[in-house]
């Protein structure tokens, strides 16, 4: 029984982490209809910024996290203004080629500057280890991930559903022409959303160094996971990717625990089954736009 709960806890933490990493991609791919395979590069940037601040300059971990977000968002907005926006109207193939090239460049750049070996972020002692709650092992770090990511998710949902910006964004996505006709500055809304998605990825990158490992190949290694989250979750809302992340996180952990020989395949099997059942993802919109 306790084993089930421990696995559930680990799975939720892993899923939450996947969500923060991938939800920016859900926004660009789903809402803006732009295939951004370089998404992981922003996550990596955030991770490395956090590492440099904490390990080399002695910042406290919690102070470095917001900066990981800000720096990834800043890189995101710079690239969006200079490069990405020229590709919004191009074909998906062009977008794929462009962003995969960007990914390779980021890998080479980080490899050159920071070296290819894996880096770790020095954590405060308060985040290390595990404590027991009625025999269920709760990892402190994973608990922190669940808290941070849970708050973020609630915040995001509120912003999208309740605020003026949220309704502008949804309008811009549903019908960009009508939205701009109504006086919504669509490119500005997209740029802001893009930057925010990159910032979330950066935060996710900083949080994931401890669990997934951070090295220059991060964007390539985890690209597939981000894509799975988005395809399985569907891209019409952020609830879809959120539930998909949790499902995949729990499925992956449980699969590796209970059937270790099959472990790595569980996540893919789940994806195939779900996509056969619902080709547009769990929460995909059925009507084409």
DSSP state of 139: E
State the virtual CA torsion across 42, 47, 50, 53 in degrees, nearest 10: -90
For other proteins, the closer of residues 41 and 186 by Cβ is 41
DSSP-derived letter for residue 85 is G
Closer to other proteins by CB, 160 or 207: give it.
207
Nearer CB in complex with other proteins: 86/118: 118
CB of 253 to other proteins, least distance (A): 5
Smallest gap from Cβ 18 to other proteins, in A, equals 10
Nearest distance in Å: CB 126, other proteins: 13
Residue 53's nearest CA partner among 69, 38, 39, 41 is: 69
Q: How far is the CB of 170 from other proteins (least distance, A)?
A: 33
Binding interface with other proteins (CB under 8 A): 3, 6-7, 10, 14, 111, 115-118, 120, 128-130, 137, 139, 141, 210-213, 215, 217, 221-222, 225, 252-257, 260-261, 263-264
Other C-beta atoms within 10 Å of 210: how many? 19
**Length, in residues, of the chain:** 289
Q: Please tell me what DSSP assigns to residue 26.
A: I
- In the bound complex, what is the minimum distance in angstroms from residue 118's beta carbon to other proteins? 5
Tell the smallest beta-carbon distance from residue 89 to other proteins (Å).
Answer: 28
Looking at the Cβ atoms of 7 and 180, the one nearer to other proteins is 7
- Minimum CB separation of residue 12 from other proteins in Å reads 12
Torsion of CA 44, 60, 211, 142, to 10 degrees: -130
Dihedral (C-alpha) 92, 73, 216, 261: value to the nearest 10 degrees? -70
* C-beta of 10 vs 80, nearer to other proteins: 10
Beta carbon nearer to other proteins, 74 or 127: 127
Nearer residue to other proteins within complex by CB, 7 or 280: 7
Minimum Å gap between C-beta 213 and other proteins is 5
Closer to other proteins by CB, 164 or 261: give it. 261
Report how far Cα 263 is from the mean position of its chain's Cα atoms: 22
Exposed e or buried b per residue across 169-204, where buried means at least 16 C-beta atoms within 10 angstroms of its C-beta? bbbbbeebeebeeeebebeebbbbbbbbbbbbbbbb
Report the Cα–Cα distance between both ends of the chain, in Å, rounded: 47
Residues 6+ apart with CB under 8 A from 189: 165, 168, 169, 172
């Amino acid at each position: 029984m306790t084993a089930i709960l421990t696995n559930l806890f680990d799975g939720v933490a892993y899923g939450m982490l996947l969500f923060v990493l991938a939800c920016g991609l859900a926004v660009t791919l789903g809402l803006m209809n732009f295939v951004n395979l370089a998404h992981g590069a922003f996550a990596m940037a955030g991770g490395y910024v956090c590492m440099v601040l904490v390990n080399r300059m002695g910042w406290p971990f919690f102070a470095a996290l917001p900066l990981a977000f800000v720096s990834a968002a800043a890189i995101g907005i710079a690239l969006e203004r200079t490069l990405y926006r020229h590709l919004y109207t191009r074909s998906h193939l062009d977008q794929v080629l462009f962003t995969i090239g960007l990914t390779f460049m980021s890998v080479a750049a980080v490899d050159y500057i920071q070296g290819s070996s894996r880096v770790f972020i020095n954590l405060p002692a308060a985040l290390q280890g595990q404590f027991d709650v009625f025999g269920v092992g709760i990892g402190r770090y994973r608990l922190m991930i669940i808290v941070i990511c849970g708050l973020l998710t609630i915040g995001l949902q509120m912003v999208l559903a309740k605020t003026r910006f949220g309704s502008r964004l949804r309008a811009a996505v549903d019908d960009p022409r009508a939205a701009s006709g109504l006086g919504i500055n669509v490119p500005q809304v997209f740029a802001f959303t893009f930057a925010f998605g990159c910032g979330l990825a950066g935060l996710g990158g900083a949080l994931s160094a401890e669990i997934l490992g951070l090295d220059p190949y991060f964007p390539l290694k985890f690209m597939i996971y981000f894509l799975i989250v988005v395809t399985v979750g569907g891209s019409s809302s952020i609830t879809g990717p959120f539930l998909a992340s949790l499902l995949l996180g729990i499925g992956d952990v449980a699969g590796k625990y209970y059937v270790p020989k099959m472990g790595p395949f569980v996540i893919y099997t789940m994806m195939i089954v779900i996509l056969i059942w619902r080709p547009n993802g769990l929460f995909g919109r059925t009507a084409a736009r």
